[in-house]
Amino acid sequence: MTKIKFENVNKKFDSVVAADNVNLEINDKEFFIILGPSGGGKSTLLNLIAGLEQVDSGTIYFDDKPINDVPPEKRNVAMVFQSYAIYPHMNVFDNVAMGLRAKKLAKQEVKKQVENATEMLGIREYLNRKPYQLSGGERQRVALARALVRRPDAFLLDEPLANIDAKLRQSVRVELKSLQRQFGITTVYVTHDQTEAMSMGDRVALIRQGKIIQTSTPSEMYSRPLNTFVAEFLGSPSITLFETDLRDKDGRYIFEAPAFVLELPLETAKMRNITATIRNKARDNKVMIGFRPEDLAIHKESLNNAIEGKIYLIENLGKESIITLKIGERLIQAVSAHPPAGVHVDDTVWLTVDFDKMYIFDKETQQNLLI
Amino acid sequence: MNMNRKKILLVIFVSFIIFWSLFPILWIFNHSLMFEEELYSRPPHWIPQNPIPNNYMQILGIPAYYPRYGEVKASGHAPAILNGIRNSTIVALLVMTATVIVATIVAYPLARFNLRHGNKYLFVVLTSRTIPAISIAIPYFIFFFYLGLYGTVFGVAILHFSITIPFMIWVLIGYLNTLPLDLDRSARVDGYGRLGVFRKVIVPMAGPAIVTSIVLTFLFSWNEFLFAWIFTSGTTAQTLPPAFPSMLFMLADPNNMAAAVIISLIPPIVICAFFERYITRLKIVGAVQIKSG
């Protein structure tokens, strides 16, 4: 129904830049995630879409119609706030009916639609309750029902799961995603939680200090991050980056770090391509190499071309273990489904890496050298 | 042990303050139920021995007859008191209504919109409260004299309004600032313009503050003496407070005066008692979750 487009949008609050020349296109019926650290300008983008803030410059379009001058009440978007913003002086029915009454719908129609929406979210029995009589999860459902009942052109969610407990969060995540698919409403979802972004988004925009760093599908962002910031933001536990010097010795490529030396295997064509790329792009041969925790393997016996480290902590999560290792002075994390038996804290172990899944960034520009 | 001693000290202290402020009223109330002879009896009577309603009847202009004293005529001050009650009621209700409506309408944008010079407006509103009342009395006197507002109920109401309005704007802004802004924003997105937000969200939620300003405004206007005295004393628009000093100057019967004072206390007490239950803070709990991050 609605495509949302940002064109060179800028927004400043005093001296804080909240949107820095943002260009963004959100497709119709898309579940679009705006991801980023706190205070990065995520909510501002949402408020700009809702019309609660005005752009300093640039244009926002709904379906190619500029809407800079349209007030929020005329934009037909629905918003769920992190605080839920449920009207405390109204019961659940009146809360959900607010948007419908603004449209001047007939009483019967309002009643029917409110009942449908609350039924769907499992809060129909609470219609006569006041917000202070509801639990956090129920309040959140009221906020969702209030947004859904209006059949808006776009659905804006500002960290809606931040205030509910972890177990409920999981199930609401699934529910939200399926509701969105069912209704086919363009959805913009703001979060600082990369798990939510990875699991729910059709596409994700990662934003920092008002600037969009990368826009892509979650899996692409995970495997092909544009720079170290993106690489470190996605994934839990996060990626391990090492600063290394790349040495080119008699046709062999060696990454030298204070704590270890790794030689790049040149058996495959892919690896040979990589070396060519790096040589072209890296400045002074200083690069950062990165490995996801799941791409590290732990061995008890000494191996060639492996990183020596010490077990610092083993966290058994049931289906997998997070193993924290000390390499030189650094702590890094590896995730392993089957840690080698008989490995204990303070044991010396050897880490082998999956070179096929290695990330290489320029040390100075932090840009990914492999894309 | 220590806690107990603290508690006892606190109770003594509070009792003293209550006695300090209420004793004069109790004493006046005593007088209002006595005849003049009993008032001057020695030792003084802490409780009237033959409580009588005569002083009230006299001051309200009703003659009374008692076998022991014969006929008691209505007080000569009765017209001033009756007139004062009427005028004070009109003024207080006018000021109260106007203040609450105007203050709410003004406080909403000042508290909620990003006005370009919002802080300057607030500053002006605040400083207008720091000017001593007597310094504006003279210019007002001249204006009112030429505008024909001197000695009118409407004139006093305007004067009272000029004092209550900045005060109540501050009370309301202070309260509105405690209400979560997300509620306004949510209502905007739900399809309401600024007026709709005002009507549907702000006014219902500001209930306690509005009731507070109703009570405070009424009390102020009912009790206000200086302007009322300067602008109405000796005219048909004289309110209740200026009636008391003129009784004093004219050496009225002290028991009659006591009755008049007690009568003047009734409306404030009724207003306070009636609105007290609405001043409990609205349950904002549940409107917004506390941010966990």
* Calpha distance A112→A100 (Å, rounded): 11
What's the residue count for chain B?
A: 293
* Calpha distance A243→A51 (Å, rounded): 44
Q: Which parts of chain B register pLDDT below 50? A: 282-286, 288-293
User: What is the widest separation between alpha-carbon atoms in chain A?
Assistant: 83
Kindly calculate the radius of gyration of chain A based on its CA atoms and give it in whole angstroms. 25
Reply yes or no on whether the pLDDT at A10 is more than 60.
Answer: yes
Residue B114 phi, psi (nearest 5)? -85, 75
Find chain A residues with C-beta within 8 A of B185's C-beta.
47, 50, 52, 72, 79, 81, 85
Q: Chain B within 8 Å of A133 (Cβ-Cβ)?
A: yes
Is there a contact between B191 and A99 if contact means CB atoms under 8 Å apart? yes
Is there a contact between B193 and A83 if contact means CB atoms under 8 Å apart? no
Which of A86-95, A217-226, A257-266 bottoms out in mean pLDDT, i.e. has the lowest? A257-266
Q: Give the pair of three-digit tokens for residue B6.
A: 């603290």
Number of helices (H) and strands (E) in chain A: give both, helices first: 9, 20
Nearest-by-CA chain B residue for A38:
B293
Helix, strand, coil % (nearest 5) of chain B? Answer: 70, 5, 25
Tell the residue number behind the tokens 């959140």, with chain if given: A140
- Give the gap in angstroms from C-alpha B200 to the nearest C-alpha of chain A: 9
Q: Give the pair of three-digit tokens for residue B70.
A: 């014969």
Is there a contact between B288 and A130 if contact means CB atoms under 8 Å apart? no
Please check whether residue B66 is in contact with residue B53, taking contact to mean a CB–CB distance below 8 angstroms: no
Alpha-helical regions (H) of A184-254: 194-200, 218-223, 228-233
B113, B179, B185, B186: best mutation site toward chain A, by most A Cβ within 10 Å?
Answer: B186
A57-62 β-sheet, strand order: A16-26, A4-13, A57-62, A65-66
Nearest-by-CA chain B residue for A88:
B287
Is there a contact between B283 and A132 if contact means CB atoms under 8 Å apart? yes
**pLDDT for the residue B293:** 30
B116, B178, B190: best mutation site toward chain A, by most A Cβ within 10 Å?
Answer: B190
Burial class (CB in 10 A: 0-12, 13-18, 19+), A199: middle
* Calpha distance A142→A165 (Å, rounded): 17
Which candidate from A38, A50, A103 shows the least CB-CB separation from B189?
Answer: A50
* Calpha distance A28→A61 (Å, rounded): 12
What pLDDT, in 10s, does the model give residues B169-224?
988 998 898 888 999 999 999 999 999 999 999 999 888 888 888 888 999 999 99
* Calpha distance A134→A130 (Å, rounded): 7
Which candidate from A88, A103, A139 shows the least CB-CB separation from B283?
Answer: A88
Nearest-by-CA chain B residue for A162:
B292
How many alpha carbons fall within 13 Å on the CB side of residue B232?
28
Which candidate from A50, A76, A85 shows the least CB-CB separation from B183?
Answer: A85
Nearest-by-CA chain B residue for A46:
B189
**pLDDT for the residue B280:** 58
Residues 183-212 of A with CB under 8 A from B: 192
Strands (E), chain A: 4-13, 16-26, 31-35, 57-62, 65-66, 77-80, 154-158, 186-191, 203-208, 211-216, 240-249, 252-256, 261-264, 286-291, 296-299, 307-316, 321-327, 330-336, 348-353, 359-362
A287 pLDDT band (50/70/90 cuts)? confident
**pLDDT for the residue B292:** 32
- Name which residue leads in pLDDT, A371 or B210: B210
* Calpha distance A298→A308 (Å, rounded): 10
Reply yes or no on whether the pLDDT at A96 is more than 90.
Answer: yes
Nearest to A333 by CA among A304, A290, A368, A371: A290
Kindly calculate the radius of gyration of chain B based on its CA atoms and give it in whole angstroms. 24
Nearest-by-CA chain A residue for B193:
A73
- Give the gap in angstroms from C-alpha B198 to the nearest C-alpha of chain A: 13
Find chain A residues with C-beta within 8 A of B289's C-beta.
82-84, 136, 139, 163
Nearest to B179 by CA among B69, B285, B81, B50: B285
A282 pLDDT band (50/70/90 cuts)? low
Which of A43-57, A124-138, B33-47, B180-194 bottoms out in mean pLDDT, i.e. has the lowest? B33-47
Please check whether residue A265 is in contact with residue A271, taking contact to mean a CB–CB distance below 8 angstroms: yes
Q: In angstroms, how far is CA A98 from the centroid of its own chain?
A: 32
Which candidate from B191, B285, B288 shows the least CB-CB separation from A84?
Answer: B288
**Cα separations (Å) of B56 from B62, B257, B258, B262?**
8, 9, 9, 9
The separation between the first and the last C-alpha atoms of chain B, rounded to the nearest angstrom, is 43
* Calpha distance B128→B91 (Å, rounded): 22
Is there a contact between A88 and B289 if contact means CB atoms under 8 Å apart? no
A267 pLDDT band (50/70/90 cuts)? confident
The predicted complex's ipTM stands at: 0.83
- Give the gap in angstroms from C-alpha A95 to the nearest C-alpha of chain B: 10
B205, B283, B289, B291: best mutation site toward chain A, by most A Cβ within 10 Å?
Answer: B289
**pLDDT for the residue B1:** 56
Nearest-by-CA chain A residue for B285:
A132
Helix, strand, coil % (nearest 5) of chain A? Answer: 30, 35, 35
pLDDT (mean) for A78-105: 91
The kind and range of the H/E element at B64 are strand B64-66
pLDDT (mean) for A114-129: 90
Is there a contact between A71 and B193 if contact means CB atoms under 8 Å apart? yes
- % of chain B at pLDDT higher than 90: 38
